[in-house]
């Protein structure tokens, strides 16, 4: 990570109403402490105030968003409250779009490598719940609020190394274009006549995600490549015309939800100013002045205001959240090796790798600078980072103005180990003077009202990746068919796990379809037996036994037994050896199964606990 050297810093107390990093950090810390108190048990049942609107306490998505907010606000992923929140999430059923999406955000921020299977599972469920039109609902129907969170969740999965099929992004992009209103904004429902600030930021943010993901996959067709920037630009114009950071434009509720949407849209689309407005500074001023003495921001519902306010102040969507310059402060950033050439490009780190555009050569600034922008540099459409000529990440720019000091930062954690040749491909808008010097063309395929696009390539930087996520996972791999509707009982279960007082690790946990909810036998049980019953006889071709896993970390003493006897009634026992990855018993031919017994025949040693994460009955 890039270190920040403070050469000179004024410690004077900030005046009331002044936006400084001191005030921002203090407000974030105060809000974090409030959340830590509220969620000390990982459950959050205690009320933050009188209920207003629908009940939001004890919801999966809210707990996930809280964990995400805490980590993004600087709390360690190993903090007890964060671990308890994730533990609760691992036992909860994520049945809706918000639940799945917010859990994906939390897992990506906390432990993308260790949660890969969980992330892939949630991403697959989101993809499978995409509506026919390409958007998302609760599920059922479709609205832009659910849709934006689905997009954020799938983006988190993609960053974590789970490949989301490009068709998901193209369908989503076309669906969101239908949410535009006649004045350039976006509404809650497709075909809505009235736009709001929260939905316009949602539309801009989702289209930005679609554009970057399709460009990364080299699946951004000509129609979408022209239409997505136009729709985003129209959305920014709507926000400029209705600009406010005190209400959700044009004057409705959901202020904090809107402000967090503004932060996301700004980060995803590379926009720091809306017209003459510095959206972050103006929004931060309002939040700093409205936090209460307990550290809370009171929102439309019970608790979400504090979460959204913290995420805005922290600039949670940025790869590296920019800092606010203090009065009298001079900063010098320590940068990595910069490769010279038309584009000054740096790539540093052994994994994750930080990718940055440090600037442009003087001749590039002269050639592609717009007269009205002075020395601000070219107008960047997007930056594509490539590894051995394959796009690995895309960052959008604000093509309506000079890029200035924008660095188009991103963090790539999914490069494979070994030496990687990286470079940047920068797409810029050609200024009128430059177009006049070029040969006449019938019309550029990529030209619109902002002018044609030209490409500037950097030189190559070689990095040696040593720390990487597991190999990328694909959602295209078909899932094995398993028998559902199972019941289970056991000879015993473990009931005294600290931090897991809400569960007894009973037999049902081994057949609930959740690999993070194990059955654990009581250590005093010398001959543990797990019995599984099907509702009616069914053909089964194999039995798969998975190891016990507990999120966020499985205790070392919890292990899978080395051997079990598998008994299909009526029938003889079959011995099955298990290892750290579990084991599988394949029948010579499918058997009619009604009752299955798993008898643990090995004996635990020392403080060991025996458990089974999940029993999957594969059907033909």
Task: Name residue, tokens 């939800």.
Answer: 257
* pLDDT of 6: 32
Name the pLDDT band for 476 (thresholds 50, 70, 90). Answer: confident
Q: 409-432: per-residue pLDDT in tens?
A: 999 999 999 999 999 999 999 998
* Average pLDDT across the chain, whole number: 89
Question: Higher pLDDT residue, 6 or 335?
Answer: 335
Q: Where exactly does CATH 1.50.10.20 map onto the chain? A: 14-314
Write down the number of H helices and E strands in the chain: 14, 24
Q: Which pLDDT value is given to residue 16?
A: 52
By mean pLDDT, which of 90-94, 366-370, 457-461 is the weakest?
90-94
- Is a pLDDT exceeding 90 seen at residue 101? yes
Residue 447 confidence class, pLDDT cut points 50, 70, 90:
very low
- Interval 403-412: pLDDT, tens: 998 999 999 9
In this predicted structure, the answer to whether residue 74 has a pLDDT above a threshold of 70 is yes
pLDDT digits (tens, 9 = 90+) for 147-198: 999 999 999 999 999 999 999 999 999 999 999 999 999 999 999 999 999 9
- Tens digits of per-residue pLDDT, 577-609? 999 999 999 999 999 999 999 999 988 888 899
How many other β-carbons are positioned within 10 Å of the β-carbon of residue 388? 10
> What is the pLDDT confidence band of residue 3, given thresholds at 50, 70 and 90?
very low
Structure tokens at 535: 């509702």
Please report, rounded to a whole number, the percentage of residues in the chain having pLDDT higher than 70: 89
CA nearest neighbour of 139 among 95, 78, 107: 95
Q: How many CB atoms lie within 10 A of CB 263?
A: 25
Instruction: Report residue 314 as tokens.
Output: 């922290």
582's torsion region: left (phi>0), alpha (psi -120 to 50) or beta? Answer: left
Confidence of residue 478 (pLDDT cuts 50, 70, 90): confident
pLDDT of residue 301: 57
What would the mean pLDDT of 532-554 be, rounded to a whole number? Answer: 93
State the Cα–Cα distance between residues 287 and 327, nearest whole angstrom: 20
- What confidence score (pLDDT) does residue 446 get? 44
pTM passes above 0.85: yes
Name the more confident of 469 and 360: 360
Which residues lie below 8 Å from residue 218, measured CB to CB, with a gap of 6+? 391
DSSP state of 482: B
Q: Scanning the structure block, which residue is given the tokens 């010279």?
A: 340
Among the listed residues 253, 246, 210, the one whose alpha carbon sits nearest the alpha carbon of residue 228 = 210
Residue by residue, DSSP assigns 175-226 as HHHTTB-TTS-B-SSTT-S---HHHHHHHHHHHHHHHHHHHHTT---HHHHH
DSSP conformational letter for 389: T
367 pLDDT higher than 60: yes
pLDDT at 5: 33
Which H or E element spans position 94?
Answer: none
List, in order, residues 6 or more apart from 398 with CB less than 8 Å away.
269, 270, 271, 272, 379, 380, 406
CB burial of residue 375 (10 Å; 0-12, 13-18, 19+): exposed
Secondary element (H or E) of residue 499 = none
Does the pLDDT value for residue 14 go beyond 60? no
Alpha-carbon gap, residue 249 to 304, rounded angstroms = 19
**Residue appearing with tokens 């992330």:** 119
pLDDT reported for residue 10: 34
Give yes or no for residue 439 having a pLDDT over 60.
no
In the chain, list all ranges with CATH 2.60.40: 335-465
Which residue carries 């209920």 as its tokens?
A: 51
- For 18-89, strand residue ranges (E) read none
pLDDT, mean of residues 491-519: 88
In degrees, to the nearest 5, what angle opens at C-alpha 526 toward C-alphas 524 and 531?
Answer: 105
Q: For residue 331, what pLDDT is reported?
A: 52
Q: Which pLDDT belongs to residue 68?
A: 97
The two tokens of residue 483 are 């028998």
- CATH code for the domain defined by 14-314: 1.50.10.20
Residue 174 or residue 503, greater confidence: 174
For 487-618, CATH number out of 3.40.50.10860, 2.60.120.260, 1.10.3720.10, 3.90.550.10 equals 2.60.120.260
CA distance linking residue 604 with residue 510, whole number of Å: 19
Percentage with pLDDT > 90 across the chain: 75
- Those residues with Cβ within 8 angstroms of residue 93's Cβ, 6 or more apart along the chain or in another chain: 60, 514
Span 259-291, pLDDT tens digits: 999 999 999 999 999 999 999 999 999 999 999
257 pLDDT more than 90: yes
pLDDT tens for 547-583 read 999 988 888 999 999 999 999 988 899 999 999 999 9
For 335-465, CATH number out of 3.30.70, 2.60.40, 3.30.160, 2.40.128 equals 2.60.40
3-state class of 592 per DSSP?
Answer: strand
Is the predicted pLDDT of residue 51 greater than 80, yes or no? no
Place of tokens 């068919």: 481
Cα-to-chain-centroid distance, residue 339: 31
Q: In this predicted structure, what is the pLDDT of residue 150?
A: 98
- Ranges for all domains in the chain classified under CATH 2.60.120.260: 487-618
SS3 label, residue 243: coil
Per-residue pLDDT of 294-321, as tens digits, reads: 999 987 655 689 999 999 999 999 988 7
């Amino acid at each position: 990570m890039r270190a920040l050297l403070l050469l000179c810093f004024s410690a004077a107390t900030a005046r009331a109403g002044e936006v400084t990093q001191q005030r921002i950090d203090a407000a974030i810390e105060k809000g974090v402490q409030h959340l830590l108190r509220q969620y000390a048990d990982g459950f959050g049942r205690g009320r933050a105030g009188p209920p207003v609107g629908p009940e939001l306490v004890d919801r999966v998505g809210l707990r996930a968003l809280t964990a995400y907010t805490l980590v993004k606000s600087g709390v360690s992923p190993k903090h007890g409250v964060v671990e308890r929140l994730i533990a609760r999430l691992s036992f909860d059923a994520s049945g809706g779009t918000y639940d799945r999406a917010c859990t994906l955000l939390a897992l990506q921020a906390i432990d993308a490598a260790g949660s890969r299977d969980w992330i892939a599972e949630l991403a697959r469920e989101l993809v499978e719940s995409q509506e026919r039109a390409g958007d998302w609902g609760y599920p059922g129907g479709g609205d832009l609020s659910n849709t934006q969170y689905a997009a954020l969740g799938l983006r988190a999965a993609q960053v974590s190394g789970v490949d989301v099929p490009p068709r998901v992004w193209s369908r989503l992009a076309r669906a969101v274009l239908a949410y535009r209103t006649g004045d350039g904004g976006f509404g809650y429902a497709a075909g809505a006549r009235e736009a709001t600030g929260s939905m316009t930021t949602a539309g801009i943010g989702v289209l930005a995600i679609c554009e970057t993901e399709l460009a990364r996959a080299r699946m951004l067709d000509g129609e979408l490549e022209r239409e997505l920037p136009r729709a985003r630009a129209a959305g920014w114009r709507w926000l400029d015309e209705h600009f406010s950071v005190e209400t959700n434009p044009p004057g409705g509720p959901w202020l904090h939800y809107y402000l967090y949407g503004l932060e996301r849209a700004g980060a995803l689309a590379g926009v720091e100013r809306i017209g003459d407005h510095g959206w972050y500074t103006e929004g931060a001023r309002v939040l700093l002045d409205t936090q209460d003495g307990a550290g809370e921001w009171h929102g439309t519902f019970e608790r979400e205001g504090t979460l959204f306010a913290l995420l805005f102040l922290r600039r949670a969507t940025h790869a590296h959240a920019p800092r606010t310059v203090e009065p009298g402060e001079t900063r010098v950033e320590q940068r990595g090796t910069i490769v010279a050439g038309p584009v000054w490009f740096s790539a540093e780190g052994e994994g994750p790798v930080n990718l940055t555009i440090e600037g442009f050569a003087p001749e590039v600034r002269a050639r592609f600078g717009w007269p009205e922008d002075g020395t601000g540099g070219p107008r960047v459409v997007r930056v594509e980072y490539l590894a051995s000529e394959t796009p690995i990440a895309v960052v959008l720019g604000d093509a309506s103005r000079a890029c200035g000091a924008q660095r188009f930062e991103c963090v790539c954690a999914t490069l494979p180990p070994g030496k990687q040749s990286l470079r940047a491909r920068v797409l810029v808008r050609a200024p009128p003077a430059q177009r006049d010097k070029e040969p006449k063309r019938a019309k550029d395929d990529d030209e619109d009202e902002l002018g044609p696009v030209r490409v500037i390539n950097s030189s190559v930087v070689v990095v040696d990746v040593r720390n990487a996520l597991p190999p990328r996972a694909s959602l295209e791999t078909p899932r094995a068919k398993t028998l559902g509707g199972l019941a289970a009982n056991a000879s015993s279960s473990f009931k005294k796990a600290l931090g897991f007082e809400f569960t007894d690790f009973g037999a049902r946990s081994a057949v609930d379809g959740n690999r993070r909810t194990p059955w654990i036998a009581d250590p005093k049980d010398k001959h543990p037996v797990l019995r599984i019953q099907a509702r009616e006889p069914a053909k089964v071709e194999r039995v798969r036994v998975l190891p016990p896993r507990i999120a966020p970390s499985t205790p070392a003493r919890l292990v899978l037994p080395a051997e079990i006897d598998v008994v299909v009634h009526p029938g003889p026992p079959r011995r099955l050896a298990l290892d750290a990855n579990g084991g599988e018993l394949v029948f010579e031919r499918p058997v009619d199964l009604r009752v299955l017994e798993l008898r643990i025949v090995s004996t635990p040693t020392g403080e060991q606990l025996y458990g089974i994460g999940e029993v999957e009955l594969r059907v033909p």
